[in-house]
Amino acid sequence: MNETAATYPSQPKPAHLGEPIVSIRGLHKYFGQNHVLRGVDLDVWQREAMMIIGRSGSGKTTLLRCTNFLDEPTEGSIEIDGLRVAADPLHSRSRSYRERIRQLRLRAGMVFQDFNLFPHMTALDNCIEAPTRVRRVPRKEAIELAERYLAKVGLIEKRNEHPARLSGGQKQRVAIARALCMQPKVLMFDEPTSALDPELVGEVLKVMEDLAHEGTTMIVVTHEMHFAREAADRVLFMEEGGIVEQGPPEQVLNDPQDQRTKQFLRRFLTPEPA
């Protein structure tokens, strides 16, 4: 494949962040004739909080979904915590290949825009379902884990409530607790506040900011620029399926070097006339 988008080199290793936990190489994704990802190379460092920004359709969500094979890459490879899986569409149904993908997914927790909680289960049961069924964690241990993370997101008192009795912000915080219960190596968020009423956004961002400051490895697709400034170690701007610019938030958001980044931020950060 020779159709590529301009990509900046990976950032040098930040001195305080340890070793890379995610390595993406040569990642391409086609949906029919639509070339959505165009040769993405990316390292995410252990304990790093990386925020991905860009226009709708730039490939941000597809990059996340390909990282844990919710969307299967057309070409390239993903490595998480030492397990590397190369895109192999011809053998995508083989048992060994699917098992490697399953193991990769165990390393990468995902928090979606629309929560994806099981409506017939309580908050606690939503949190223990995957640890008990997928990781075979004993139920007592899984409950202790779930209660710890529900307390962490400020919802221990809602442990026996069903999603229908929770606000949108509470549902998303349960979804974060559920992802943490699998104890992933990296936690990925796909615009986690986009489905929330404005008054509920802050409670979710506060949980995420605390996680970032505690050293949770995070990849976050977001349009919340203030949050990116406060919580990110690195901000990455995507355009037309490639990485256009990346760096510390103060550089990318306050002094971008690429004209495409400047245009995006100018349009995004300038309020529309009333």
Per-residue confidence (pLDDT) for residue 19, from 0 to 100? 73
Instruction: Give the span between the Cα atoms of 146 and 125, in whole angstroms.
Output: 9
Per-residue confidence (pLDDT) for residue 93, from 0 to 100? 77
Instruction: Give the span between the Cα atoms of 64 and 19, in whole angstroms.
Output: 20
Per-residue confidence (pLDDT) for residue 271, from 0 to 100? 52
3 pLDDT above the threshold of 60: no
Per-residue confidence (pLDDT) for residue 272, from 0 to 100? 46
Tell me, what DSSP letter sits at residue 197?
A: -
Environment class of residue 127 by beta-carbon count within 10 Å: exposed (0-12), middle (13-18) or buried (19+)? buried
Looking only at the bridges linking them, the beta strands covering 218-221 and 186-190 are parallel
> What global pTM score does this model have?
0.90
